[in-house]
Amino acid sequence: MKRIAVLTSGGDAPGMNAAIRAVVRSGYYHGLEVYGVYRGYTGLIQGDIEKMELGTVGDIIHRGGTVLYSSRCEEFKTEAGRQKAVEQLKKHQIDGLVVIGGDGSFQGAKKLTALGFPTIGVPGTIDNDIPATDFTIGFDTAVNTVVECIDKIRDTATSHERTYIVEVMGRDAGDIALWAGLADGAESILIPEAPYQIDEIVERLQRSSERGKKHSIIIVAEGVGSGLDVADKITDRLGWETRVTVLGHVQRGGSPTAFDRVLASRMGSKAVELLLSGQRDMMVAIRNNDVIGIDFDEALSQKHQPRMELYDLAKILSI
């Protein structure tokens, strides 16, 4: 193996640049040439591939987003599109590929391996919804962004003595809502993995009000539904005035936390090690603080589950 390439695909996540940097510099440390594929699988099909040098990734470890850009590619979902991608990799004499992204990106990486091209996945998504790894790159930063926003919203909620519903991202996973809600002392946390009862939420609000509490924060994961719907249900039952904040894509941006920078550096370097050892069709994961490689089949066959003990703890602490 003499040349490897790296691309980012799907939604951007803080820490992707740190992972790119780790792939490039680890690659050169081991005597490899490293190429960057711009705009994900779209760029791979189009041959938007350039050689990266050590200086190319200088001063990017602290930057959010991805310097390689990202996109979603419908053409790559076709057999003809994937064949074009392999042809471009062969044209550039690339021997292995590192794909940084989420589950959709990994499905694409798996298909490349099936065509005979060694591919390693690095989990980069704020949703933390990749099975088989404790954390994904970008999750910690997104949680900290949400916590910072809720801290500010709480100031207004306190001043106006109102209930605020905050809708956060996460697709079908409730990890962002769960961790941010626990960190910020939310009265209720609604996640798709634990169906909620509106009567229980109303009862909790009433109990808080009776003991003199003037404001409340409720966190709603987007996989549950609209925060506006939850607000309407509370108003219908209690007649209280509520406010809804949808945080949206602000959760994807910003400088990555120290945790995400270190995680991305470890995972990017591990991906290079796996390629050099002859591995393929694998993803990098962190388990019990150890960075390891796991077969795609094993990883993608599992179902993601949040740490429900945190959900139970949040309910206990918000009594």
Q: What is the mean pLDDT of residues 4-28?
A: 97
Residues 6+ apart with CB under 8 A from 317: 182, 185
| Average pLDDT along the chain | 94
**Which pLDDT score is estimated for 228?**
94
Q: pLDDT tens digit string along 144-170?
A: 999 999 999 998 888 877 899 999 999
Q: Which of 51, 68, 59 is nearest to 4 (CA)?
A: 51
* Active site annotation includes 127: yes
Q: What is the mean pLDDT of residues 181-189?
A: 94
- In angstroms and rounded to an integer, the radius of gyration of the C-alpha atoms of the chain is 22
Classify the phi-psi angles of 285: left when phi > 0, otherwise alpha if psi is within -120 to 50, otherwise beta: beta
Banded model confidence at residue 56, pLDDT cuts 50, 70, 90: very high
For the chain, give the DSSP string.
--EEEEEE-SS--TTHHHHHHHHHHHHHHTT-EEEEETTHHHHHHHT-EEEE-GGGGTT-TT--S-TT-----SGGGSHHHHHHHHHHHHHTT--EEEEEE-HHHHHHHHHHHHTT--EEEEEB-TT---TT-S--BTHHHHHHHHHHHHHHHHHHHHHHT-EEEEEE--TT--HHHHHHHHHTT-SEEEBTTB---HHHHHHHHHHHHHTT---EEEEEETTT--HHHHHHHHHHHH---EEEEE-GGGGG-SPPPHHHHHHHHHHHHHHHHHHHTT--SEEEEEETTEEEEEEHHHHHHS-----HHHHHHHHHHT-
- Which residue among the candidates 12, 127, 129, 260 is catalytic per the annotation? 127
Location of structure tokens 């996973």: 173
Q: pLDDT tens digit string along 216-248?
A: 999 999 999 999 999 999 999 888 889 999 999
In percent, the amount of the chain with pLDDT more than 90 equals: 82
This prediction has a pTM of 0.95
**Cα 138 to Cα 263: distance, rounded to the nearest angstrom:** 9
Banded model confidence at residue 71, pLDDT cuts 50, 70, 90: confident
For 53-89, give the DSSP string.
-GGGGTT-TT--S-TT-----SGGGSHHHHHHHHHHH
Provide the pairing of β-strand 96-101 with 188-190. unpaired
Provide the pairing of β-strand 3-8 with 49-52. unpaired
Banded model confidence at residue 93, pLDDT cuts 50, 70, 90: very high
